[in-house]
């Protein structure tokens, strides 16, 4: 069976190693050139260092409200994962297409691009905007860059469709997620004289205990009713690094940690509770070593939650086309909250399963590509085509 245009596009997109730690310009340039080949002009919105970029394009009358089709071009790393084929070569096995980003989320981008030739031929009464970002898998700086671009150009869409892998089910709500680094500075010395030093690793263990106690307090008081699983704010310890040798009192230690906040729970209140507990624990121990000993927490990123909005036109249209108006809530984060801050409605719906995202041998089922392209066609014909 010959490749479909969508599969060809997905193969090309997967071939670009757009791991978040690397540039994505080659991928974005390919999309720009593809659109240009169909008469669609686009804007490449570069990062400050120029190594990464987002892409913004409009099909139809730009001065009217319309729909934004959005997706991220970056992918998570493959290092340390046991792949059975080259992760950056799209490989078909038993009706599944394997490759890094095949479902998260280059599949949706491929589906959107496959429909572009038809969109260009339409006499659209409302615009279709395309927004493809960088760094969704890290700090979501690409989404911030695109939404700033929309504000500056006074773009006010009716709704935004983000094609994260949901097995084409509609998502209208997700938790917020924030990441932090806590740096603890102790006082170095010989391990044979621990009373003359202050061990940063030991202090970090106590701080981790505070985080675990806070996490348990959230678990003990779940939200009810709740659409989320689990139905409470969660914590995760990512990495801990510190010390130089087993016979030296550790001077430095840092902890990377994360909070996924349940809607209705206030992150600032939670952080204040952690700060108070840490101050009570560490202030007496720091006093004898002032000003050398210290603890500092900085925010890496703070991704807003996505909340349901009444009268969401995207939810209505997709529900009518699919016959499945039901929506779900998820615990993973998306760029949706940044778009929602613009005052627009957001729907998360895309091909592939989130269960495959970030996994070795990530794949998307070919049937999901067919269904997604058909859904995009019907939705866009339903809204804004003359």
The catalytic position among 74, 137, 164, 251 is 74
What span, in angstroms and rounded, lies between the C-alpha atoms of 285 and 267?
27
> How far is residue 346's CA from residue 312's CA, in Å, rounded to a whole number?
8
The answer to whether residue 386 scores a pLDDT higher than 70 is no
Find where tokens 């909070």 sit.
259
- Token pair, residue 334, equals 């998306």
Q: Residue 290 — pLDDT band, cuts 50, 70, 90?
A: confident
pLDDT of residue 381: 80
Q: Which residues are bridge partners to 42 per DSSP? A: 57
pLDDT digits (tens, 9 = 90+) for 74-93: 999 999 999 999 999 999 99
Q: pLDDT category, 1, cuts 50, 70, 90?
A: very low
Contact 197, 188 (CB under 8 A): yes
Side-chain half-sphere of 158: how many Cα atoms within 13 Å? 18
Q: Please answer whether residues 129 and 63 qualify as being in contact, where contact means their C-beta atoms are separated by less than 8 angstroms.
A: no
The overall average pLDDT reported for the chain is 95
Tell me the CB-side half-sphere exposure of residue 266, using CA atoms within 13 A: 4
Decide if 335 is catalytic. no
Q: In which element (H, E) is residue 334 found?
A: none
317-376 tens-digit pLDDT: 999 999 999 999 998 899 999 999 999 999 999 999 999 999 999 999 999 999 999 999
To the query of whether residue 136 is one of the catalytic residues in this protein, the response is yes
Question: What per-residue confidence (pLDDT) applies to 254?
Answer: 97
Q: What integer is the mean pLDDT of 91-107? A: 97
| The predicted structure's pLDDT at residue 288 | 87
**How far is 337 from 346, CA to CA, in rounded Å?**
8
Give the integer Cα–Cα distance in Å for 123 and 386: 5
Q: Which of 7, 104, 135, 136 is catalytic?
A: 136
Task: Give the C-alpha separation, 233 to 267, whole Å.
Answer: 9
The widest CA-to-CA distance across the chain, in whole angstroms, is 81
DSSP state of 3: P
pLDDT for position 2: 57
Q: Which residues are registered as beta bridge partners of 91?
A: 98
pTM above 0.75, yes or no: yes
184 pLDDT above the threshold of 60 = yes
For residue 151, whether the previous peptide bond is cis, meaning omega lies within 30 degrees of 0, is no
């Amino acid at each position: 069976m010959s490749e479909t245009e969508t599969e060809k596009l997905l193969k090309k997109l997967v071939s670009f190693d757009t791991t978040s730690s690397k540039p994505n310009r080659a991928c974005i340039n390919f999309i720009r050139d593809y659109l240009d080949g169909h008469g669609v002009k686009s804007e490449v919105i570069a990062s400050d260092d120029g190594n990464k970029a987002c892409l913004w394009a409009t099909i139809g009358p730009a001065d009217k409200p319309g729909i934004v089709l959005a997706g991220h071009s970056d992918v998570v790393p493959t290092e340390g994962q046991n792949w059975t084929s080259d992760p950056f070569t799209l490989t078909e096995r038993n009706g599944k297409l394997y490759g890094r980003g095949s479902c998260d989320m280059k599949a949706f981008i491929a589906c959107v691009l496959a429909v572009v030739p038809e969109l260009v031929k339409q006499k659209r009464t409302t615009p279709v905007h395309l927004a493809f970002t960088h760094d969704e898998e890290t700090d979501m700086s690409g989404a911030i860059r695109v939404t700033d671009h929309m504000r500056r150009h006074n773009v006010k869409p009716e709704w935004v469709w983000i094609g994260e892998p949901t097995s084409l089910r509609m998502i209208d709500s997700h938790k917020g997620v924030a990441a932090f680094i806590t740096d603890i500075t102790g006082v170095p010395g010989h391990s044979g004289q621990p009373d003359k030093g202050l061990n940063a690793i030991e202090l970090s263990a106590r701080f981790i205990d505070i985080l675990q106690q806070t996490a348990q307090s959230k678990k003990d008081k779940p939200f009810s009713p709740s659409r989320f699983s689990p139905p409470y704010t969660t914590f995760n310890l990512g990495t801990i690094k510190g010390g130089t040798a087993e016979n030296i009192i550790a001077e430095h230690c840092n902890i990377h940690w994360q909070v996924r906040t349940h809607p209705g729970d206030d992150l600032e209140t939670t952080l204040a509770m952690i700060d108070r507990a840490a101050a009570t624990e560490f202030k007496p121990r720091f006093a004898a070593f002032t000003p050398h000993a210290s603890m500092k927490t900085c925010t890496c990123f703070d991704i807003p939650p996505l909340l349901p909005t009444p009268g969401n036109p995207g939810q209505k249209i997709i529900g009518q086309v699919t016959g499945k108006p039901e929506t779900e809530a998820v615990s993973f984060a998306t760029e949706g909250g940044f778009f929602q801050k613009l005052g627009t409605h957001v729907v998360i719906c895309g091909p592939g399963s989130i269960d495959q995202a970030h996994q070795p041998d990530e794949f998307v089922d070919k049937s999901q590509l067919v269904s997604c392209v058909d859904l995009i066609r019907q939705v866009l014909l339903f809204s804004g085509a003359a």
